[in-house]
Amino acid sequence: MNAVAKKQEIISKGAEATLFQGYWFGRKVIFKHRIPKKYRIEKLDRRIRISRTLNEARALIKIKELGVNVPQVYEIDTKNFIIVMKFIEGIKLRDIVDVLSEDKLKMYFTKIGEMIALLHFNGHVHGDITTSNIIVTKNESLFLLDFGLHEYSDTIEDKSVDLHLFKRVLLSSHGKVFQKGFNYFLEGYAKKSEKLGFKEFKQIIKNVSVIETRGRYVKKEERS
């Protein structure tokens, strides 16, 4: 890590990574540090952490180039398994979604749908779309965060799972606005897909119901 980069306050600890807020060349940033897993062989653990650090950082760079609001990547430190990225000022959608006006609910969720459609059209699967991973800025821009579970995929199944997991989050955490919010999300997803010429979107949406009938999410390696 560069001497001018200073980690300060821990803002989040997860199973895969710890997030620090700090400064890098005078800029307010987030340091995402992938932590070691003691149950893994050390050499394998290092290989996995390097791979996932690079995958997430490169995905953020590519997705930003598509025009989707994501944090700008400033530095990729593979020696220490750290991504340095811009700190996004704002509030988590999770903290305001249940008190949004009808107009704001429609505006935000339609926009989220458009963002995810653009990702899927370009072969990106977020893997963890939640209201905790979306920041609303003062000027009402939406930023999509945390691409730690990001994958490259062109399959209907993987993209349907992306939508299914978001639906589950809304149902379990925001039941009051779940139906309207998810419907607005699908409207934005469909509208943007049509503009892009993304013909598979109808199959992706339809397949969400198929996934729900299984009773549980089937891991990729278990699919026939």
158 is catalytic: no
Backbone angles phi, psi at 8, to 5 degrees: -125, -100
Sign of CA dihedral 48, 76, 111, 11: positive
Q: Whole-angstrom Cα distance, residue 181 to residue 94?
A: 12
What are the tokens at 106? 């429609």
* Non-local CB neighbours of 174 within 8 Å, separated by 6+ positions: 97, 98, 131, 181
Q: Of 45, 77, 128, 146, which is the active-site residue?
A: 128
What are the tokens at 77? 């430190």
- Beta strand 91-92 with 82-86 is unpaired
Q: By C-alpha distance, which of 181, 213, 160 is closest to 99?
A: 181
∠162-154-191 over CA atoms, to 5°?
Answer: 65
Specify whether the CB–CB gap between 177 and 97 falls below 8 A.
yes
Name the burial class of residue 52, with classes exposed (0-12), middle (13-18) and buried (19+) by CB atoms within 10 angstroms of its CB: middle
What are the tokens at 173? 């955490």
Residues carrying an active site annotation: 128
